[in-house]
Amino acid sequence: MISMSAATLATGWTRAGTRCPNGTSDNAHERHKVAGIVPLVLVATIAALPGNTVPGAAWAQAELDTAMPAHVSAATNDLAQLRTGNPADQDQRIFLFHRTSGGLRHKVWTGTNATGAWSAWTWRNQPEVGGDAPLSSSLVALGGMYVEPSTGIWTARFTAAYNFRLFSPGGDVSVGLPMWRQIPGAYSFVHLAPPANAAGVDFIPSTGITWLDGSTQRQNLFGVAIQLDRDRHVIGHSLRELWHDGSTWRYVDHDRPTGRFYLRVGPNSAIWTNALGYGNGYVFATADTADLWALWYDTRSCASWCWFSLGQPDGGITDMRAPVALQYHVDGRRRIAVFVTAKAEDGYHLYSRYTDGPDWRPWTDYGSPPNLVRGKGFELSNGVVWRDGSTLRINLFGTTDPVDRLNSGLPTHTGGHLVDFFWDGSVWSWGPLTVLPETRDWGPAGVHPVRLRVSGAAVVDAGPWQRISVFGEDELGTVWERAWSGTWAWQRH
């Protein structure tokens, strides 16, 4: 394990960064009310974009493939999870959703004792809607516990959302929303086509927030939409939002920062700062110019959302991957921290910035995981914040890039290792790279472990039920969990 003396959780740094001017916005957006969001761990990944095979479509698969960097567009994500918990009786559950060719299934971990237990898979088959064909999934789970106004009983309500391509000359993509409510157990499917005047197609929900506006539960999904010109050629990305006002789903397009072309948004890129009322919303995204941006909401300054730049670290940055955003408290002050992997002149590093007041602190460089293959990268995609007694703990998880050829030119089959970067209460440290307990003979490359791609993480931190779960899917389609309840162990799902 590599440790560093990083007292960054308490360091006072000088002013750096850019603030959105009061009352101004980088782009004009539809206004809508956002208040009282309860943040949760939400999971999804930008998905692969299959080619539009509809006769007469004006663009080719190759052009759509260029709409996202290869390490993002080549990935599919069929897993999502969320945690629910009743603070009144510490009833804690983790819901794991898995999208398969046969439909949507889920299973539940319940903290009925010190270790808890998983249920069997329950199928929620996806209905056929208007002849739609599912894309490779970009799955997001949103939900949480709230009090039923009519009964005063705590209940779980959540949504699993993914995208569909329509069989139409335009090849537009809509979103399917199978919604399941634990009490009284109703389950329904809602098919949401994009608005006729939408600025782009292929809306890929990647992150989101669930929140309470009084007694009304609301949800906001964010993701990338591909913008096309009149000849239907790719001209860039926009950041699109699909939000629920308590009764109706609505779309709004947030465009992209001026001068930027492509955006990356990850499963842990959106947060809301105030669980009890009005606050600030952030959706972090990285651009093709290798810099970090935030779409910011504030009722006083940016009530219609606005873009502001968080720049890039020093060191000749040429690539920046999807950001991970977390919030926690240090010495009574709320801290919003964003972590991002970026390629510097000497390889990929993990960088971070945070704010605990009106300004953003400078970048901090945390280096790279131990034993990372030279010239290859990694990406952190999820994080959890929890308490070990009174000690603040933070864990961020991700995966190393696949490696098919050694620097010598010989074939291999490595990468896809689990990455863990954590705060133990005093220092930030890298955990060892971890491989799956599953191997295969890969022909000329020989026998190597199967590669993993992390899709999400959840933490249960209540009474005797303390658990960290990291979920992923391997390259053969198997669902895995690496769980900690005093010690780490793999579990196949």
For 212-257, the pLDDT digits (tens) are: 776 677 778 888 887 766 666 667 788 988 887 777 788 888 999 9
Question: What single-letter amino acid sits at 407?
Answer: N
Calculate the CA 79 to chain-centre distance. Answer: 11
Closest to 141 measured CA to CA, from 81, 191, 185, 93: 81
User: Which is more confidently placed, 126 or 350?
Assistant: 350
CA distance 355 to 357: 6
Judged by average pLDDT, the poorest of 86-95, 98-107, 290-299 is: 86-95
Q: What pLDDT does residue 191 have?
A: 64
**374, 407 Cβ separation under 8 angstroms:** yes
**17, 354 Cβ separation under 8 angstroms:** no
User: Which is more confidently placed, 148 or 467?
Assistant: 467
Highest mean pLDDT among 54-63, 270-279, 410-419: 410-419
CA distance 266 to 238: 14
User: Which is more confidently placed, 92 or 366?
Assistant: 366
Q: Cis before residue 184, ω within 30 degrees of 0?
A: yes
pLDDT band at 315 (very low <50, low <70, confident <90, very high): confident
pLDDT band at 181 (very low <50, low <70, confident <90, very high): very low
User: Which is more confidently placed, 200 or 107?
Assistant: 107
CA distance 145 to 35: 17
> What is the rounded average pLDDT of the residues 90-97?
74
pLDDT band at 440 (very low <50, low <70, confident <90, very high): very high
Taking only Cα atoms into account, the Rg of the chain, rounded to an integer number of angstroms, comes to 21
Q: What pLDDT does residue 90 have?
A: 53
Q: What pLDDT does residue 174 have?
A: 55
* Strands 270-272, 280-287: pairing kind: antiparallel
For 252-302, the pLDDT digits (tens) are: 889 999 999 889 998 899 998 765 556 688 999 999 999 999 999 887 778
CB neighbour list of residue 197: distance below 8 Å, 6 or more residues apart:
none
Upper half-sphere CA count for residue 397 (Cβ side, 13 Å): 27
Q: What pLDDT does residue 138 have?
A: 64
Buried b (16+ CB within 10 A) or exposed e, 424-440: eeeebbbbebbbbeeeb
CB neighbour list of residue 249: distance below 8 Å, 6 or more residues apart:
177, 190, 192, 242, 243
Q: What pLDDT does residue 147 have?
A: 55
CA distance 351 to 7: 15
For 113-167, the pLDDT digits (tens) are: 666 888 888 776 554 444 444 444 467 777 665 555 566 555 556 666 665 544 3
Judged by average pLDDT, the poorest of 30-39, 55-64, 103-112, 286-295 is: 30-39
Residue 135 neighbours by CB distance under 10 Å: 18
Closest to 106 measured CA to CA, from 188, 211, 175, 180: 180
pTM of the complete model beyond 0.85: no
- Percentage of residues of the chain with pLDDT beyond 70: 62
pLDDT band at 176 (very low <50, low <70, confident <90, very high): low
Q: What pLDDT does residue 230 have?
A: 67
> What is the rounded average pLDDT of the residues 67-76?
34
Q: What pLDDT does residue 232 have?
A: 62
| Mean residue pLDDT across the chain | 73
**288, 237 Cβ separation under 8 angstroms:** no
pLDDT band at 359 (very low <50, low <70, confident <90, very high): very high
> What is the rounded average pLDDT of the residues 299-312?
88
